[in-house]
Structure 1
Amino acid sequence: MATQKPLQALAVIPARGGSKGIPRKNIRELHGKPLLWYTVTAALESGCFEDVVVSTDHDEIAHIAEESGALVHHRAADLAGDEVTLDAVIYDAVQGKGRQYEVVATLQPTAPLLRAETLRKAFDHIRDNPHIDTLISVVNDPRLSWIEQEGRIVPNYTERVNRQYLPPLYRETGAFFLSRTRCVTPTSRFGNEVAVFEISPEEAIDIDTMQDWWIVEKYLERRRIAIRVDGSRPIGFGHIYRMLLLANRMLDHQVHFFLDESQEEAVSMIRNAFYPHTATPRGELVSQLIAHQPDIVILDILDTSAEEVMQLREKGIFVVSFEDLGAGMAHTHLTINALYESTIPYLHVHSGQDYYCLREEFTHTSPITIKEKVDHLVITFGGSDPTNQTLRCVRALADFLPECATRVTLILGLGYPAEAEEELRRFLESSPLSGWVTIKRHVLSMASEFKAADLVITSCGRTMYEIASLGVPAILIAQNRREMQHTFGHSENGFANLGLGTELSDEVLLRTVRELCEQWELRREMQHRMLSTDFRNGLDRVYRLIMDTYWKTTGRNRKRG
C-alpha cells in the first residue's frame, strides 16, 4: 500500500549509454531483466513518487525505461560526458518536468537490490523530519584503516579494537539521495542539514565491475528455503544428516529448519549446526511453514499427506519431498527417492542411487583394499535395532569368528535400548567371542570404522550406500518390510541381501558369512559392483535437480519487497 504523504516527490534515475567497464550496463540483462528495470520497479512499487523519470541520452535505454513504466527525459549531449556531474543532470531533469516538487530523489540504476520497502522508510524519514535537507543512503562499515599524512602512513583510529567495538563509519552507497527541491542546483544537491539513512549491505551493492555483477546475480537467485525434517531414536537421524548436507550445499540461499518440538535430539542437532530453526508442536508446523513465506519447502518426513502438500502448493510454494511413498507424493512438484521406486511412473519422481546424498566424511574417503583374509567384521544396525539383529548376529557367529581369528566391532545406534545392551554384554562375557568384540556408541566417524573393516553386516537403510561408496563387502538384513522396498541393496550392486531379519535362519547367516570369508575373489567382485555407482556427486546432483526444476517451474522473475 502506498505511503500517505503530504509531499510531492520526483524520482530521477540517471542512465546514460556510455558505460565502459561493463558494455551496455544499464540495459544488460540481469537475472532475466534489464538492469534499469530493477530501480524503476522499486521506485514505482514504493508509492513515494508523483513521477519516476529516467534521464538518458540513449534511445534503447529510453525504450527500456518506458517499457518498465517510467517517464523519459532526453538529456542534451553536453550532459552525457564523463566529466559531467550528477548535480547538473538531476537539475536538468527537474527543470524539464516544469512543475514543482518538494523532494527530488536521485536513484542509481546500478543498485538493483534496493527494495521498495527501504525507499518507503527513507521517504517517511525525510517527510517526518522537515529540518533534514538531504538524506543519503549509507552502509555502516566500520573497520581499521590507515591514511597517508605528511608523507607517513598512520592509523585512522584511536584504539585498535575488534570491529564490533569501532565507532560507526557510514559509507555512501549511491542507492538513493533525497533532497529538498530548493537544494537542487546545477552544482549541488546538498542543503545545510544532511542526514544518513542506513541500508543493508545487500542493498548497498553498486554495480561498477563484473565482480559486482556476479555478486548481484547470486543475490537475485537466492531463495527462501524452508526445510521440514523429522529425526528421533525410533526412526533414526538419517533425515537430519541428509538435510544438513543439503543445507550446507545451499549456502547461496536463506535456509530455515522447521521441526517437531517433541523431537528434542533433532532440534539440538540443528541448533548445534547453527542454522536458523523453528521448533513447534507438530500440528502447527504447516501453518508455521506458510507464515514463513518460503519460495521452496523441502519435506524429509517420510510419507506426506495430500492435504499438507496441497496446503503449501495453494500458497504458491514449490514443494519437494524425500523418501516419500505417501499420498502427498502425487501432488509435490518434485519427489526424490534414493531408497524407493514409485509404483506409478510419475514424471516428477526421481528414484535410485544416483540421488543419494553422501556425507562429506565418505566423499573424502578412498575405497578399501580387499584382503585375502577377513580380519575385521563390523556389525551395525543403527537407530534402535527394534528386532535386536545385533544380538542375533553375535549369537549365530559366536563359534565361527574366533576360529577365523576375526575381530568384531559392534556399533550400536543412539536408540539401542540400555536393557538390550546389558543382555548383549552378558552374552559376550560367557561366549567364545569374549575378548574378540569391541562395542561402540556415539561414533564420530563412521567412515573410519568402515574403512577399517573387511566385511560389514548391516540393515537395508542409508548405511548401505555409505558402505558401497567405500567398496566394503556387506551382508544386508532388513529390519522391517519397508526396508525390503529399498531397491539398491541387492546382488547386482554388490550386496549379499538375506531378506527380512525376522524370517532369516541362523544357518543361512552363518553359511553366508563363512562363504564370504573363504572367497576372496567373491568379495572383490562385490566391491567392483559397488564402486560402479557414482555416489560422490549425488549431493550436487540432488541440489541441481531441485533448483533446475524450481526455475523451470516458476521462471526467473525476481521477487520485490
Structure 2
Amino acid sequence: MSRDNLKLLFIIPARFGSKGIPRKNLKILNGKPLIFYAINNAIKIPYKKEVVVTSDSDEILSMATKFGAKAIERPAELADDQTTLDPVVFHAFKTFSTDVKFDYVVILQPTSPLLSVKSLENAIEFIFLNKNIDSLISVKEERHLSWKYKNGEYVPDYKERKNRQYLVPKFVETGGFVISKSKFISENSKLGDRVSVWNLPQHESVDIDDFDDWNLCENYLNRKKVLFVVSGYKEIGLGHVYNVLAIADELSNHELHFLVDKNSQLAFQKIKENNFNVTIQDKESLSKCVVDLKPHLVINDILDTKAEYIKKLKKNKFKVMNFEDLGEGSRYADVVVNAMYDSNKTVRKNMYFGSDYFCLKTEFYFTNPNKFSSVVSNIVISFGGVDPNNLTLLCLQSIYDFCVSNDIEICVVTGMGYNLHQTLSGFENIKIIKNTSHISTYFNKADIIFTSGGRTTFEAAILGKPTIVLCQNEREMTHYFLNKNKGIINLGLGNKISKNSILNNFKNLIDDSDKRNKMHNFQLSHNLAYSKKNVIKLINNLVST
C-alpha cells in the first residue's frame, strides 16, 4: 500500500454534557469553538480521508459541519456518563465504513487543542511505515518522584531519590489521539495487539478537564513568536544585549528567539550564557535570516537601521520595534524606542524618547538603594561589557594612588568582552569582578561610580549614585541623560581627557559632601521604577494586533 492510496477515517467524539466546563466543546477558546481545533487538524492532514464528528448535540453537529466535518448523531444509549469511548467510535466507524474501506482510524479528542498538525502527521507517518504496530497512542513523558498509597500509608514509588533528569521516565496517555488499523475497531476495543506510543511535546499534551487547563491552553494559543535581532561586539559593547535580555525577562508568555549579526560573536556568547534560543546570521542578508524564522514581532537593537531592511520585514507582515535607532529605517518601524535621546524632540508618532522607556536589568528594580554616606570609602569603576578604549585603565592610572592613600576601596567590574585584564596587574589594592550576574550588588556599595555614557548611567541613577562619566565614542556624547542629569559629571570623550582632569574632578567631588548629596537625591528623583513596564506595554500592544 502506497501513501497515495492510504485512506483515513478521523473520528472526533464530542458529547454535549460536560460537568467541569459547561458547553465545553462549544466554548470559545482564543476566538474559536473548542471543537474547531480537532477538526482543523484532521482536515489539514494530506491524505485521503473522512472527518467525522459524533455527538448527541444538534448544536455541536451543526457547528462541526461549518468547519468542514461530517456529522453523526449519536444514539441516546451511547450518550450517558457511563458509556466508554469504544462503542461510540465503533458506531461512527460502522456508519462510515459501509461503502469505503479505511486503512486506519484516527480518534481525536477535542479536549487537546494544542496538538499540532505536524505532530499528528508525523505520528500517522510513523505507524504507516512500521507495519508491525497495530495502534499508536499519544503520551507525554513524566519524570517526577512519585508516591503511592499502600497498606494504609503513603510510600515512595521509587527506589532511590535522584535529580529529575536521571529518573526513569514514565509515559502517560494524553487523550490527544489514538491511531489504529481499522480491522481492530470493535464495540469493545479500539486497540490492536501491538501497541506503541507517540511522545508529544509537553505543551501539546494538555488535555482540558477544568478551567485551569482551559486557561493554560488560552495562554499557549495567545503566544506569539518574538524575535530579538541584536548586535554586540568590541566596538559597540554589549549594552544592546543587556537591553533585550532585560526585556526578555518580562515576556515569558511568548516564544522568544534571538538572532545576532555575523559580527556579534560576543552577543551570541552572552545570550547563550543566559540559556536562550539564539542563532547567528548564516546568510548574506540579515533580513533573510529574519524571514526564515517567521516571527510575529521583530525587536531590533542594532543601532541605526536602513530603510530597505525594515521595508523587507514589513513586506512579510511582521510587526517591527526598534531600539536606539536614528536611521532611515526608523521611519518604517511600528514603534521606535530611543531612551538614550532627548524626550523633548519633535518626533513622529511611532517614536518614544527619554528615560521613561529605559529597560533596566531586573536586579536593579529589586535593589533598595543604600543611604547616602558623607564619607567616600568605596568606588566602582565599570565601563560596560567590552570597554574598547580601556577607560578602566585610564581611571585607575588617574585615581589609584589617591585612593590607596585615603583608604578608599576600588572595585573594578568588567564584562565578558573585556580582554585587557593584564593591563591592570600593577594595581594590587583593587578588587576585580569579572562578568558578574549581579552588578547591582557592587554598584549599591559604591559612593561614587566611574562609567561610560551608556546604560550604566541609568543603573547608577536608580541607586542614587553620584557618577563620573567618560564617554567611549561620539554617539555616547549625544545621549541626553548625560547632559540633563545633575547627578552626573560628564567629562566628555574618555580618550581626550587627561589623568589630572579625572583626578581633580574626583577629588573635588569627594571634598564636596553637599554636592554629592544633591547628586544622590537628583539621581533618585528619576522615575525609572516603571520605565520597563512602559516598554512592555508597547510590546504587548504590538503582539496583540
| Same fold flag (TM > 0.5) | yes
* Residues 531/29 of structure 1: CA separation in 2 closer, same or farther (3 Å cut): farther
- 1:40 and 1:293 map into 2 onto residues whose CA distance is 25
Superposition pairs for residues 361-510 of structure 1, below 5 Å? 361-382=363-384, 383-384=386-387, 386=389, 388=391, 391=394, 395=398, 405=406, 407=408, 409=410, 411=412, 413=414, 418=420, 421=423, 438=430, 440=432, 442=434, 444=436, 445-491=438-484, 494-500=487-493
- 1:456 and 1:377 map into 2 onto residues whose CA distance is 6
* Residues 14/533 of structure 1: CA separation in 2 closer, same or farther (3 Å cut): farther
* Residues 94/528 of structure 1: CA separation in 2 closer, same or farther (3 Å cut): same
* Residues 340/281 of structure 1: CA separation in 2 closer, same or farther (3 Å cut): farther
- For the 8 Å contact 2:246–2:361, the answer to whether it is kept is yes
Q: What secondary structure, in the 3-state scheme, does the structure 2 residue paired with 1:324 have?
A: coil
Q: Which residue of 1 aligns with 2:25?
A: 26
Question: Could you tell me how far 1:296 is from its partner in structure 2?
Answer: 3.0
- 1:99 and 1:272 map into 2 onto residues whose CA distance is 60
Superposition pairs for residues 69-108 of structure 1, below 5 Å? 69-97=68-96, 99-102=99-102, 103-108=104-109
- 1:173 and 1:388 map into 2 onto residues whose CA distance is 59
- 1:255 and 1:138 map into 2 onto residues whose CA distance is 26
Per-residue Cα deviation, 1:158-201 (whole angstroms, up to 9, x for no partner): 78776666666432221112334443344332344434333333
Q: Give the stretch that moved more between structures: 13-22 or 261-270.
A: 261-270
Q: Which residue of 1 aligns with 2:12?
A: 13
- 2:196 and 2:494 map into 1 onto residues whose CA distance is 74
Q: Give the stretch that moved more between structures: 489-498 or 227-236.
A: 489-498
- 1:360 and 1:480 map into 2 onto residues whose CA distance is 27
- 2:238 and 2:43 map into 1 onto residues whose CA distance is 48
Q: Which residue of 1 aligns with 2:543?
A: 550
Question: Could you tell me how far 1:258 is from its partner in structure 2?
Answer: 2.6
- 1:114 and 1:24 map into 2 onto residues whose CA distance is 21
Q: Which residue of 2 aligns with 1:330?
A: 331
Per-residue Cα deviation, 1:377-422 (whole angstroms, up to 9, x for no partner): 4444444363858637965x7998799x472637375577859947
Superposition pairs for residues 333-344 of structure 1, below 5 Å? 333-341=334-342
The one-letter amino acid paired with 1:22 is I
Q: What secondary structure, in the 3-state scheme, does the structure 1 residue paired with 2:369 have?
A: coil
- For the 8 Å contact 2:283–2:289, the answer to whether it is kept is no
The one-letter amino acid paired with 2:292 is A
The one-letter amino acid paired with 1:100 is V
Q: Which residue of 2 aligns with 1:174?
A: 175
The one-letter amino acid paired with 2:482 is G
Per-residue Cα deviation, 1:273-330 (whole angstroms, up to 9, x for no partner): 3333323568454433333333333322222222222333333333332212222222
- For the 8 Å contact 1:389–1:501, the answer to whether it is kept is no
Per-residue Cα deviation, 1:85-130 (whole angstroms, up to 9, x for no partner): 2223223333444643423322111000111222223333444455
- 1:393 and 1:129 map into 2 onto residues whose CA distance is 70
Question: Could you tell me how far 1:231 is from its partner in structure 2?
Answer: 1.9
Question: Could you tell me how far 1:366 is from its partner in structure 2?
Answer: 1.4
For structure 2, list consecutive stretches of 5 or more residues without a partner in the other structure.
none
* Residues 438/166 of structure 1: CA separation in 2 closer, same or farther (3 Å cut): closer
- 2:306 and 2:517 map into 1 onto residues whose CA distance is 44
The one-letter amino acid paired with 2:255 is Q
Question: Could you tell me how far 1:81 is from its partner in structure 2?
Answer: 1.9
- 1:309 and 1:237 map into 2 onto residues whose CA distance is 23
The one-letter amino acid paired with 1:369 is K
Superposition pairs for residues 49-64 of structure 1, below 5 Å? 50-64=49-63
* Residues 28/521 of structure 1: CA separation in 2 closer, same or farther (3 Å cut): farther
- 1:153 and 1:307 map into 2 onto residues whose CA distance is 66
- For the 8 Å contact 1:380–1:390, the answer to whether it is kept is no
Q: Give the stretch that moved more between structures: 386-395 or 184-193.
A: 386-395
Q: What secondary structure, in the 3-state scheme, does the structure 1 residue paired with 2:459 have?
A: helix
- 1:194 and 1:259 map into 2 onto residues whose CA distance is 45
CA RMSD of aligned residues (A): 3.8
* Residues 478/271 of structure 1: CA separation in 2 closer, same or farther (3 Å cut): closer
Question: Could you tell me how far 1:510 is from its partner in structure 2?
Answer: 7.1
Question: Could you tell me how far 1:208 is from its partner in structure 2?
Answer: 0.6
Per-residue Cα deviation, 1:41-83 (whole angstroms, up to 9, x for no partner): 1111113453222222334433432332222223344432212
Per-residue Cα deviation, 1:334-367 (whole angstroms, up to 9, x for no partner): 3222212486623332222122222233233211
- 1:408 and 1:167 map into 2 onto residues whose CA distance is 53
* Residues 406/545 of structure 1: CA separation in 2 closer, same or farther (3 Å cut): farther
- 1:199 and 1:409 map into 2 onto residues whose CA distance is 54
Superposition pairs for residues 239-258 of structure 1, below 5 Å? 239-258=240-259
Pick from 351, 354, 366 the counterpart of residue 353 of structure 2. 351
Q: TM-score, normalised by structure 1?
A: 0.82
- 1:51 and 1:419 map into 2 onto residues whose CA distance is 69
Superposition pairs for residues 47-196 of structure 1, below 5 Å? 47-48=46-47, 50-97=49-96, 99-102=99-102, 103-129=104-130, 132-141=133-142, 145=146, 169-196=170-197
Per-residue Cα deviation, 1:510-552 (whole angstroms, up to 9, x for no partner): 7765664454444333333322334344444433422331222
- For the 8 Å contact 1:296–1:320, the answer to whether it is kept is yes
- 1:535 and 1:71 map into 2 onto residues whose CA distance is 58
For structure 1, list consecutive stretches of 5 or more residues without a partner in the other structure.
429-434, 553-561
The one-letter amino acid paired with 2:374 is E
Q: Which residue of 2 aligns with 1:36?
A: 35
- For the 8 Å contact 1:380–1:458, the answer to whether it is kept is yes
- 1:492 and 1:348 map into 2 onto residues whose CA distance is 26
The one-letter amino acid paired with 1:134 is S
- For the 8 Å contact 2:391–2:470, the answer to whether it is kept is no
- 2:530 and 2:111 map into 1 onto residues whose CA distance is 37
- 2:124 and 2:12 map into 1 onto residues whose CA distance is 16
Q: Which residue of 2 aligns with 1:225?
A: 226
- For the 8 Å contact 2:147–2:154, the answer to whether it is kept is yes
The one-letter amino acid paired with 2:203 is E
Per-residue Cα deviation, 1:23-54 (whole angstroms, up to 9, x for no partner): 22212222222221111111111134532222
Q: What secondary structure, in the 3-state scheme, does the structure 2 residue paired with 1:546 have?
A: helix
- For the 8 Å contact 1:258–1:285, the answer to whether it is kept is no
The one-letter amino acid paired with 1:327 is E
The one-letter amino acid paired with 1:13 is I
Q: What secondary structure, in the 3-state scheme, does the structure 2 residue paired with 1:488 have?
A: helix
